[in-house]
Chain A
């Protein structure tokens, strides 16, 4: 899809001047715990944000959305400096058949305090990359260009017996066990999680490693994280967008790729997963494509072979979640455009420590 001139101008405005830093509370959950959990909007006018990573040391929040990766500085007193474009990615692809969403980079995660992994979603399957950028502790004077990455992994092209159409839509990124793991959302026959081993600080070839569809009969691995002890790779498999309640929480051995456990969650489309560093509790966002009114933040409690999903907070097409070291939870939402509105509906919010 090739953007026209007005679109480009709008993009430029959005990139460099259009983001809004907010202070208003937007939502709270319903029922008994209505007063317990609230989210505060930090940034609006994002376009389809889907990835979050917190930088060690600075606490800066990196947000992947249609136009690139932004850096949000929670402690910055000057509101005009609180958010800035870090990496500009001009490409664009469309996710979904209706509704359709323009997407760019999808997933982000840090290898360490300065190496940020970015999963691409802005190209066709078989042509996308996973890139590693070196980022500093301050916002750069100028946004980094997409091809300024220090390491570029992929693409994963069509290969007999591996992928018949090429992999892509690198939605989620997790780093652990000496490797980068990336969920892939392109080839629905395999539902690959790909892996790049890190040797001497350098990531190796990105290889399709865990065929989640073959392991569970459900595809679309999207959310990915490590268990608090680092021993388990924890994946949210979205399943069919048109089918409610089919999302799985799956646990894989990061070393062997072997499925250790698969749980039916009753959620429709798990898009984000994160463990609280304070309580050890696991949280998931449900985008709920078929019925977005049911989307929200859920606590997942594993009890034997069962998982119980408890609604914490209703959200509008929520995607990524990430905790900072103090236990504050950041969450992104695609949101819904206001009628006649000119601003992008995406946002970043925070739920103060307590989860």
Chain B
């Protein structure tokens, strides 16, 4: 927890009032079902973040989010019951998985680092190359990918329909048996609750000038000025949602073309989506190929100007940062962007 003593003090003062209101709300909740929980699901956004938009055909409810969480954690969504979404996108590892390349069924490895699920609710594009426009579409990908969960749409639907607990929940939430589309919708609804905000930076920005340590404050200044990080890592989610070639992996003869595979513009060669930096200290290793183990290495990469290539972003060039500035920058990334109420979800009980 990153709460300041002032905030804690304020919370205690409010406790009595909050407890009383909570009791009243609980009575209403019991009396009128889960309406209040549904509203919470729609509105629980940490400080510093914008409103989460939900697709009109996939509005969240508490039951749907709960179902999505079970599916997210359930290894039965893979061919051999060994891999779940959480295997590669683990809350304990920044909602990534700590390896350069995650391991799928039969010990297979992919070629890209697992992107975090944190704040994907705000993403205009999903996957490193942005090939899917929504979390609903994204959720279907890894399940069917032969080197990830490697199960067909038909097989997973049949498997889940044999689990009575799932059948009942799908009936309650969607008024259908398990379907592939609704499975994806439930997972996406859950993922939209995985939010990272309320960091020291957010409190600093809101006016608490002591929220950042001195080193983090110096690092913040470097981030938004001399190091040019905010050219791409901008806005509440620290991403411009765009695609940039930042000079990673471009020395390989057959480099990963990234966004170019989706959109055939020359400038997209070797370009990948700008990731969020929220809770970035938790999700090592870094970059689309997981080639940099620490944030210190990431900063050194950018200071060096990346691997020169014809498609290199014009905002990537050698920087003149002092050793202290580099250190401060890393401090800002690690401390300044660390969530005050990080979504450290625990595994749910899975249906039988």
CA distance A187 to B124 in the complex (A): 24
- A290 in the interface, Cβ–Cβ < 8 Å? yes
Residues in A with CB closer than 8 Å to B240 are 219, 239-240, 243
Choose one: B224, B228, B230; the contact of A165 (CB below 8 Å). Answer: B228
- A161 in the interface, Cβ–Cβ < 8 Å? yes
Residues in A with CB closer than 8 Å to B226 are 160, 164
**Interface-central residue, B243, B259, B267, by most chain A CB under 10 Å:** B267
- A99 in the interface, Cβ–Cβ < 8 Å? yes
- B235 in the interface, Cβ–Cβ < 8 Å? yes
Choose one: A96, A217, A242, A289; the contact of B235 (CB below 8 Å). Answer: A217
Residues in A with CB closer than 8 Å to B310 are 98
Count residues on chain B whose CB falls below 8 Å from chain A CBs: 34
Chain A 165-197, CB-CB to B under 8 Å as 1, else 0, gives 100000000000000000000011100000000
- A97 in the interface, Cβ–Cβ < 8 Å? yes
B115-155 residues at the A interface, CB under 8 angstroms: 124
Chain A 212-227, CB-CB to B under 8 Å as 1, else 0, gives 0100011100000000
**Interface-central residue, B235, B266, B314, B317, by most chain A CB under 10 Å:** B314
- B263 in the interface, Cβ–Cβ < 8 Å? yes
| A219 engages B234 (CB within 8 Å) | yes
Choose one: A98, A217, A219; the contact of B268 (CB below 8 Å). Answer: A98
Choose one: A164, A239, A242, A289; the contact of B228 (CB below 8 Å). Answer: A164
- B225 in the interface, Cβ–Cβ < 8 Å? yes
A190 to chain B, nearest CB (A): 9
- B304 in the interface, Cβ–Cβ < 8 Å? no
The answer to whether residues A189 and B266 also contact, given A97-B314, A242-B271, A243-B241 and a CB cut-off of 8 A, is: no
Choose one: B229, B235, B241, B267; the contact of A97 (CB below 8 Å). Answer: B267
Choose one: B225, B230, B241, B265; the contact of A98 (CB below 8 Å). Answer: B265
| A242 engages B259 (CB within 8 Å) | yes
| A242 engages B242 (CB within 8 Å) | yes
Residues in B with CB closer than 8 Å to A213 are 230, 234
Residues in A with CB closer than 8 Å to B314 are 97
CA distance A165 to B124 in the complex (A): 29
| B225 engages A164 (CB within 8 Å) | yes
Closest to A95 in B: B314
CA distance A242 to B124 in the complex (A): 11
Residues in A with CB closer than 8 Å to B231 are 187-189, 219
| A99 engages B241 (CB within 8 Å) | no
- A2 in the interface, Cβ–Cβ < 8 Å? no
Closest to B236 in A: A217
- A246 in the interface, Cβ–Cβ < 8 Å? yes
Residues in B with CB closer than 8 Å to A188 are 228, 231-232, 315
| A189 engages B225 (CB within 8 Å) | yes
| A189 engages B124 (CB within 8 Å) | no
Which of the four size classes fits the interface of chain A?
20 to 34
| A161 engages B225 (CB within 8 Å) | yes
| B266 engages A97 (CB within 8 Å) | yes
A138 to chain B, nearest CB (A): 40
Residues in A with CB closer than 8 Å to B66 are none
Closest to B312 in A: A97
Chain B 247-290, CB-CB to A under 8 Å as 1, else 0, gives 00000000000010001011111010000000000000000000
Residues in A with CB closer than 8 Å to B317 are 165
- B245 in the interface, Cβ–Cβ < 8 Å? yes
Residues in B with CB closer than 8 Å to A99 are 265-267
Interface SS of chain B = loop
Closest to B244 in A: A242
- A5 in the interface, Cβ–Cβ < 8 Å? no
Chain B 207-245, CB-CB to A under 8 Å as 1, else 0, gives 000000000000000001111111110111000111111
- B174 in the interface, Cβ–Cβ < 8 Å? no
Residues in A with CB closer than 8 Å to B266 are 97-100
| B263 engages A98 (CB within 8 Å) | no
- B313 in the interface, Cβ–Cβ < 8 Å? yes
- B311 in the interface, Cβ–Cβ < 8 Å? yes
A219 to chain B, nearest CB (A): 7
| A290 engages B241 (CB within 8 Å) | no
Residues in A with CB closer than 8 Å to B225 are 160-161, 164, 189
Closest to B234 in A: A217
B310 to chain A, nearest CB (A): 8
CA distance A100 to B269 in the complex (A): 13
Residues in B with CB closer than 8 Å to A164 are 225-228
CA distance A100 to B243 in the complex (A): 16
B120 to chain A, nearest CB (A): 16
Residues in B with CB closer than 8 Å to A218 are 234-235
A132-182 residues at the B interface, CB under 8 angstroms: 160-161, 164-165
CA distance A96 to B310 in the complex (A): 11
**Interface-central residue, B236, B265, B271, by most chain A CB under 10 Å:** B265
CA distance A97 to B313 in the complex (A): 7
The answer to whether residues A290 and B263 also contact, given A243-B242, A246-B241 and a CB cut-off of 8 A, is: yes
Residues in B with CB closer than 8 Å to A241 are 242, 267
A354 to chain B, nearest CB (A): 35
CA distance A241 to B266 in the complex (A): 13
A237-253 residues at the B interface, CB under 8 angstroms: 239-243, 246
CA distance A189 to B225 in the complex (A): 7
CA distance A215 to B310 in the complex (A): 32
CA distance A217 to B274 in the complex (A): 14
Residues in B with CB closer than 8 Å to A219 are 231, 234, 240
A43-63 residues at the B interface, CB under 8 angstroms: none
**Interface-central residue, A164, A219, A239, by most chain B CB under 10 Å:** A164
**Interface-central residue, A99, A239, A240, A242, by most chain B CB under 10 Å:** A242
Residues in A with CB closer than 8 Å to B267 are 96-100, 241-242
CA distance A217 to B50 in the complex (A): 12
CA distance A160 to B227 in the complex (A): 11
Can you give 21 contacting A-B residue pairs, CB < 8 Å?
Answer: A97-B312, A99-B267, A100-B267, A160-B225, A160-B226, A161-B225, A164-B225, A164-B228, A165-B228, A189-B224, A189-B225, A189-B228, A189-B229, A213-B230, A217-B234, A240-B240, A241-B242, A242-B243, A242-B263, A242-B271, A290-B265
Q: Known A-B contacts: A218-B235, A242-B243, A243-B242. Give 11 more (CB < 8 A).
A: A96-B267, A98-B267, A160-B225, A164-B226, A165-B228, A217-B235, A219-B234, A240-B242, A241-B267, A242-B263, A246-B124
**Nearest 6 CB-CB pairs, A to B?**
A98-B266, A97-B267, A240-B242, A217-B235, A98-B267, A188-B231
